[in-house]
Structures are given as structure tokens and as C-alpha cells.
């Protein structure tokens, strides 16, 4: 039994508003892994906004790449991980940053967040080059059926 998602499934999953975990390598230590807001539309780029000059920014500049993992942490478990090279936008538009923040905050809070954090922000765009995905819906349903329980959806 395979749990790998189809291209369409993984792209739709990644496009849902989830907090992602950004990972980037760093010399002599374990990779940096931090939660992050992001934006993605099927067929497009993963877009994140970070503070210019921050540890994340410096490590991604050194590496030229990062990975992002988005997951469903309730039954049935699923995740999508993407990685790819990065393009920087040193002068992001307010609209670019609002596109990200509005996935996670109500409109008035997204506006305020972007206004309060816009100075010094950079936007990074990553076109996914490699994907990993798993959706355990089938397995979870079979396990729960064995216990006489219906699967959660």
C-alpha cells in the first residue's frame, strides 16, 4: 500500500493554510527548523516573509535553498515537504506580505501585522524542485476499522 499523494493532492494540501516548518542547513550543527507562515498556490512558488539579516535569512543566503514541511497533525496524518532554490525580493510589496499574513490572521490583524513588521522584511520565493508526501487516510481507516471505530476525516 502506498501513501504517496498524487501531484494534484500534494499541491492542494500545500495550498491549504497550515503553519509550515522551514528547515535550512547550518555548518557544524543540526539544521535550523522553525515554524513559519507561507503562501502557495498549485503550480506556483512557496513564498515566505522573514526579517532581513535574521539567522534564517543568513543561513538561506549561504545555502541558497530551504525546505518546508506542512502537516496535518490529526488523524488521518499527512504531510508534504518541498525543497528548492530561492529568489529574494529585498523590497517586497505590502500586497505580497498581506497575501501571506491574511492566510493566518483576520483582515484587520493582517494589515496591522504587515504594517508593524514591514520595515526590514524580505520575501523569499522557492519553486518546489523536490517533493515528499504521505497521506495515511487509507491506513488510518483500516486500523480504526479493525478496532470497530469509523475513520476520522
In a domain, 153, yes or no: no
Q: What is the pTM of this model?
A: 0.87
The pLDDT of residue 153 is 44
In a domain, 114, yes or no: yes
pLDDT at 148 over 80: no
Number of structural domains, the chain?
1
The pLDDT of residue 110 is 98
**Model pLDDT for residues 41-51, shown as the tens digit of each residue:** 999 999 999 99
Range of the domain at 115: 7-146
CA-wise closest residue to 23 among 35, 12, 32 = 32
The pLDDT of residue 138 is 73
60: enclosing H helix or E strand: helix 55-63
pLDDT band at residue 1 using 50, 70 and 90 as cut-offs? low
Can you list the pairs that 57-65 forms with residues at least 24 positions away whose Cβ atoms lie under 8 Å? 57/122, 59/24, 59/25, 59/26, 59/32, 60/24, 60/86, 60/124, 61/88, 63/24, 63/25, 65/24, 65/126
CATH of residue 93's domain is 2.30.110.10
In a domain, 57, yes or no: yes
pLDDT at 105 over 90: yes
In a domain, 2, yes or no: no
In a domain, 1, yes or no: no
Amino acid at each position: 500500500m502506498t501513501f504517496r499523494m498524487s501531484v494534484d493532492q500534494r499541491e492542494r494540501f500545500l495550498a491549504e493554510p497550515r503553519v509550515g516548518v522551514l528547515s535550512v542547513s547550518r555548518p557544524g550543527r543540526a539544521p535550523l527548523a522553525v515554524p513559519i507562515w507561507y503562501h502557495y498556490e498549485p503550480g506556483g512558488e512557496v513564498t515566505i516573509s522573514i526579517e532581513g539579516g535574521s539567522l534564517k535569512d543568513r543561513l538561506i543566503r549561504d545555502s541558497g535553498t530551504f525546505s518546508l514541511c506542512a502537516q496535518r497533525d490529526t488523524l488521518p496524518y499527512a504531510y508534504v515537504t518541498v525543497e528548492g532554490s530561492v529568489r529574494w525580493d529585498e523590497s517586497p510589496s505590502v500586497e505580497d506580505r498581506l497575501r501571506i499574513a491574511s492566510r493566518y490572521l483576520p483582515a484587520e490583524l493582517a494589515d496591522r501585522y504587515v504594517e508593524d513588521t514591514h520595515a526590514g522584511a524580505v520575501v523569499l520565493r522557492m519553486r518546489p524542485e523536490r517533493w515528499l508526501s504521505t497521506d495515511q487516510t487509507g491506513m488510518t481507516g483500516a486500523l480504526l476499522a479493525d478496532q470497530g471505530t469509523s475513520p476520522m476525516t
